[in-house]
Amino acid sequence: MKLSWSNAGLKGLMCAGLLLAAAPLKAQESEFGPADATETYFWVSNMSNLPLFVAYDYKGLKAAAEELGVKVRVAGPTAFDIAAFIATVDQVCAQRPAGVSVVGWDPSLTEPVNNCVAAGVPTVTDDADLPNSDRLSFVGTDWSAIGLAQARALIENRPDGGKVATLSIINADNMIAARTAFRAYLEENAPGKFEIVAEEDDAADSALAATKTAALLAAHPDLAAIAGFDAESGAGIVRALQEAGKAPGDVTVTAMEQSIDFYNSVKEGYVQALIVQNRELFTYYAIKMLYDYNHNGLKTVGLSAADGGRPIPPRVDTGLLVVGNDNVDKILTALNP
């Protein structure tokens, strides 16, 4: 399923009983921690075995599970399927685990997260936030900072300006924050130079990103730049540029980190800047926030968590790294020792 569901649409499906009948797809075998652990935590995401997740986010889950002596399980659809994602959150919370971390891909996840918290299951978000939910904490990158970083890189690499398009998961709160900051920075620091001609939804699908990019190139032959805000955007953008016969640098590209091989797109000149998140920290600290919530015993002016105290911080910013020609070789050496 490639479309984002509205809250009304999802509620309609629930009323029809269709969501309950749709069993969520299982992620690849992914359970971490000792077999005799007495506590189980869940990490729930859409596209839960995305290669980027497996390469980085899973490492954080494994590290936290082993350090804390708890079991951590991965759950969620392996395809882009918001309805199945919501169903998975509901099913996981019904098991009353010690805690749940949800990647907030879509605002429609707000209600399931609220229900989870109301049922007494500690719940946080990581990577993408649900700021209007009752989640206890968000662990991840400040996505406004990602928008600023891409805008700065664009101005540096395309000082004369021109037409710009963006690709992202259009309804995700984190992507909205990034695009908003991106636009604001361009308007403030390069007034009148850049025109954002399109904001396209690629649903975190590299093939769809390639299709959308090809359409953008056809509609705007003078397109100067493309900014990709999800992990699959960049791969699709570069593929479309190559298929269109564009030379490296003809269109300035800023994007997010993806596979190890994708860093070569910076060396080849197809991508001018990659924004790298400290992904291993997302999941590592998400599980630790949940564990601390359950165990640290700290209070706010004498109030426990049950009475309204907050024993964990509401946000943990894990920072970012910008990769360009000046440091890409160091990254490739580190990833391919």
Task: Tell me which residue of 73, 125, 116 sits closest to 96, measured CA to CA.
Answer: 116
Q: Express each pLDDT in 108-151 by its tens digit.
A: 999 999 999 999 999 999 999 999 999 999 999 999 999 999 99
Instruction: Kindly indicate whether the domain formed by 7-141+279-295 is annotated with CATH number 3.40.50.2300.
Output: yes
Model pLDDT, residue 32: 97
CATH topology of 7-141+279-295 equal to that of 143-277+322-335? yes
Cα separation of 58 and 52, whole Å? Answer: 9
Q: Express each pLDDT in 163-211 by its tens digit.
A: 999 999 999 889 999 999 999 999 999 999 999 999 999 999 999 999 9
Domain ranges of the chain: 7-141+279-295, 143-277+322-335
Banded pLDDT at 336 (limits 50, 70, 90):
confident
Cα separation of 88 and 142, whole Å? Answer: 26
Token digits for 189? 């620091």
Task: Tell me which residue of 121, 118, 115 sits closest to 42, measured CA to CA.
Answer: 121
Task: Tell me which residue of 2, 23, 157, 152 sits closest to 84, measured CA to CA.
Answer: 23
Question: 143-277+322-335 belongs to which homologous superfamily?
Answer: Response regulator (3.40.50.2300)
